[in-house]
Structure 1
Amino acid sequence: MNVEQFYPLFLKAEKVTIDSRKVSSSDIFFAFSGDNFNAASSAQKAIESGALAVIVEDKNFENEDRNIFYVPSTLKFLQKLAVYHRDQLEIPVIGLTGSNGKTTTKELIHAVLSQKFNVQYTYGNLNNHIGVPLTILSIKPEHQMAVIEMGANHQKEIELLCTLAKPNFGYITNFGKAHLEGFGGLEGVIKGKSELYDYLKINKRTIIINENDHIQVEKTIDYDPKITFGKITSDYFFQIFSDEHFVGVDYQDVKALSQLTGDYNFTNLCAAVSFGLHFGVSVDQIKDAIENYTPTNMRSQLVKIDDKTMVLDTYNANPSSMIASLYNFITFEGTKTVIIGDMLELGEESRIEHMNILKTAHDLGFNEIITVGKHFKAVNDSSQSFEDTSELIQYLKANKIQSENVLLKASRGISLEKVIDFI
């Protein structure tokens, strides 16, 4: 079975899935196996559930009469199918990466462009070597644009994802201290994320630049085509404003107030507005999109429960985003408790980075500082340092937080959102 032969069958499918539990009528199921299970054993059941076809990499389960097809590698076949499908598309595809804010930016870009176009985009956090192909394969004839988020934690990963998504437009949110272990330090982060620029330059595609970011400017100097924002001389110039804890963007005296907290979200808003303006979305439509976008994904999410105002930012954390969150939170009026959890994948830099964050939290003078995780535990000898979330929950059951404002910030692996019901 090769991709060209299989493609007509793919075009008849409702969707592509790698989860045997979610197979429904007219789906294509890719049976990805792990160390402890053989997904190909679910092939027959998937067909009985209405699957249009199943792709397996175990020849023992092949049954072409029932549309169960063997390939040497389900992953490689998924990626090749995605590339073949991408080559048939004649719509703008926006590629997006960065150390911080890429998912929020992706959501905002989608919200803005959807005011005028039928836009497909990365759902959730499906931004890796499997998620990107799945996103590409979810693009249907009715879609007019696509926004594809690309994540990475080591060199050459963005390069691979670019060969799959083949973006016409690209934007890097920023270069920060994320995944330092895999990238080999900050310089490695810059090099790895810039693989998006490399692809766009080679293929003469459009780069979107925040001209207040000197790294973005240096990496794209003298390059064309590009779209710029951030300075008065840029293609688009915006001003920041805020109302209570929310950040807004002002373009030519039209103000759009988002439901996002933190000035660090301003550039995310600027990028989304820039894309909208470039593609002819009206200023009034952009304003509606920004003001009606509600963050629900534990990223810069402001929640009021009883007498508490909580900032939920528990989906990801690294030194750059943690510092930004702390400096934003100190501006809140009233008493403040920070609950900060481990920042993962920092490698040799982990201890010093956790020490720096803890020192910053103390220097800012929060009323209460609680840390969660083994990395913080190693540098915090206070009685409010906990090994894990479950240990913190036991503490909170007996010790109610008195502060009016609470920040929760940690890497995804800490699952810090579990403590919300106990605050």
Structure 2
Amino acid sequence: MFEVLTARHIQQMTGGILFQGLGTTKAKGVSIDSRTLKKGNVFIAIVGERLDGHDFITEAVGKGASVLVVSRKVVCPKTAAVIGVQDTTRALGQIAAFHRRCFDAPVIAVTGSAGKTTTKDMIASVLGARFRVLKNVKTENNQYGVPLTILRLNSSHDVLVLELGTNRPGDIERLTQIAGPTIALLTNIGESHLEGLKNKAGVFREKFRLVQGTDPKGYVIFNKDDPWLQKIFKKRIPQRMITYAVREQADYRATRVQLQENRRISFCVGRKDFALPTASAHYVHNALAAIACGRLLGISYKDMIGALRNFSCEHHRQEIRKVRGVLIVDDTYNSNPVSFAGALGTLNSLKASGRKILITADMLELGRESKRLHEAQGRMIARSCVDVAVAVGTHSRYTAQTLRRVNPHIPAFYYPTLDAFHKRLDTLCQRGDIILVKGSRAMRMEGTVGLIEEQLRRRPRGRT
């Protein structure tokens, strides 16, 4: 974070107009949330979908904000300098971009349709063996979270690792301009956020903006198993390319991938043995991305092996817990066709003495492709090792209908709402079963996981 800012500095960074106060007014730190604002901060009045920061100007000044950045006329005490801009969200990015250029630390930017957060966290874990690493908190990967992360960068940090997200054209280009990455990393291309990006070609175009905005003297690291990302070879990019894969030959390739005791995945890279504390084989791609970054920045294989062996995923990302003899796979953070395929692959690979039960809720933000992709989801389940399937939500009716038609031997239950499903939850599982719970963030399927665990714990011991 800037040690000291003045209103004049902020005016110059944003191209704004100083409406009130002196250009010499000093500030330290930037805030967009009046609840957490500290005395002396710059307060940027973000206009969001639900809240407007201009409605909290009085509270911000009362807490000691010394400079306000606004996009409409406000009335406030003369103690604060006021800078007017056309777009306060853009102003936040402009301030962050200026701040980022004050440091020479490598910046690794990660994007893709699935696996971004886990890949970002694995990279940070691997690099943390040698460096002080700053990364996004959880999934702060948008036009607010990325700038705020960058504004936490200071001279004590050696590396910045950023996850960049998008749901409409132009997001990645703007975030890349702010972040100024020296290393671009692309995980995969799939059918996600199609309301804004339309189709896979649109997703690829948007994600490739990261490459186009990365330092020409830098590096582009990508998953060679992904057919869309293989198109990068045909692009005339100035950066050096580094690849990773499980199936294809690549700079970093995993072999002998094995699930051990339903708890961990082992694999080899060259002659080095790695292990991940997860049952999810598709996490190997995330680990390979981290290994590629680690080697690029000089991390030893010994340190990387230790970091990945002790890696801990964020909550609700294929977390596996055993409650009263039932294995629960909580993958409720989000869902799209790519991440669903990975989760289903995990369920297929797990060994069960009882049944394999799938609970899947709507995949959202798929636009006009929603019906087709939920039908494809049904066909995918029909070919799987699932014994019982439950589909929840408006769009998931297509999943259940397709599954019943393609494979009537798999019982498929459909509920239009979570409330309707939760009334039948107590009869769902028994000892020895494995339950995978998956759904988009807005479906809030973590509540279903909580109810399953609560009901299992209430059962008398010994009940099946």
| Same fold at TM > 0.5 | yes
The separation in 2 between residues aligned to 1:287 and 1:35, in whole angstroms, is 43
The separation in 1 between residues aligned to 2:309 and 2:395, in whole angstroms, is 38
Structure 1 residue 16 corresponds to structure 2 residue 30: yes
The separation in 2 between residues aligned to 1:72 and 1:206, in whole angstroms, is 35
2:261 aligned partner, one-letter code: E
State the TM-score, normalized to the length of structure 1.
0.90
SS, match of residue 278 in structure 2:
strand
The separation in 2 between residues aligned to 1:165 and 1:28, in whole angstroms, is 20
Q: How do residues 11-410 of structure 1 correspond to structure 2 at under 5 angstroms? A: 13=28, 15-34=29-48, 38-51=52-65, 53-63=67-77, 65-200=79-214, 203-221=216-234, 223=237, 224-230=239-245, 234-239=250-255, 240-245=257-262, 246-334=264-352, 335-378=355-398, 380=400, 384-396=413-425, 398-402=426-430, 404-410=433-439
Between Structure 1 and Structure 2, how many residues are aligned? 420
The separation in 1 between residues aligned to 2:449 and 2:98, in whole angstroms, is 45
1:218 aligned partner, one-letter code: K
Give the deviation of 1:307 after TM superposition.
Answer: 1.4
Contact 1:41/1:61 (8 A) holds in 2: no
Mean alpha-carbon deviation: is it higher for 25-34 or for 313-322? Answer: 25-34
1:263-313 Cα shifts (integer Å, max 9, x gaps) = 211111000011111111121211121111111321122222231211111
Q: Note the residue ranges of structure 2 that are not aligned, 5 or more in a row.
A: 1-6, 14-22, 402-410, 453-464
For the structure 1 residues 323 and 252, does the alpha-carbon distance in structure 2 shift closer, same or farther, using more than 3 Å as the test? Answer: closer
Structure 1 residue 414 corresponds to structure 2 residue 414: no
The separation in 1 between residues aligned to 2:49 and 2:172, in whole angstroms, is 26
The separation in 1 between residues aligned to 2:322 and 2:24, in whole angstroms, is 49
The separation in 2 between residues aligned to 1:168 and 1:111, in whole angstroms, is 19
1:22-41 Cα shifts (integer Å, max 9, x gaps) = 22345443222346654224
Give the deviation of 1:6 after TM superposition.
Answer: 7.4
The separation in 2 between residues aligned to 1:320 and 1:279, in whole angstroms, is 29
Give the deviation of 1:171 after TM superposition.
Answer: 0.7
Give the deviation of 1:418 after TM superposition.
Answer: 0.3
1:186-241 Cα shifts (integer Å, max 9, x gaps) = 1111111111122237x343111333334323313465422233389644343333
Higher Rg of the two aligned structures:
2
For the structure 1 residues 143 and 330, does the alpha-carbon distance in structure 2 shift closer, same or farther, using more than 3 Å as the test? Answer: same
SS, match of residue 59 in structure 1:
coil
The Cα RMSD (Å) is 2.7
Give the deviation of 1:73 after TM superposition.
Answer: 2.6
The separation in 2 between residues aligned to 1:36 and 1:422, in whole angstroms, is 29
1:30-53 Cα shifts (integer Å, max 9, x gaps) = 222346654224233224334454
SS, match of residue 274 in structure 1:
helix
The separation in 2 between residues aligned to 1:233 and 1:359, in whole angstroms, is 30
Mean alpha-carbon deviation: is it higher for 283-292 or for 52-61? Answer: 52-61
The separation in 1 between residues aligned to 2:328 and 2:261, in whole angstroms, is 14
Structure showing the higher helix proportion among its residues: 1
Give the deviation of 1:4 after TM superposition.
Answer: 4.8
Contact 1:241/1:250 (8 A) holds in 2: no
SS, match of residue 422 in structure 1:
helix
Contact 2:189/2:226 (8 A) holds in 1: no
1:35-82 Cα shifts (integer Å, max 9, x gaps) = 665422423322433445443333223545334544343212111101
Contact 2:279/2:350 (8 A) holds in 1: no
The separation in 2 between residues aligned to 1:37 and 1:163, in whole angstroms, is 26
Give the deviation of 1:383 after TM superposition.
Answer: 7.5
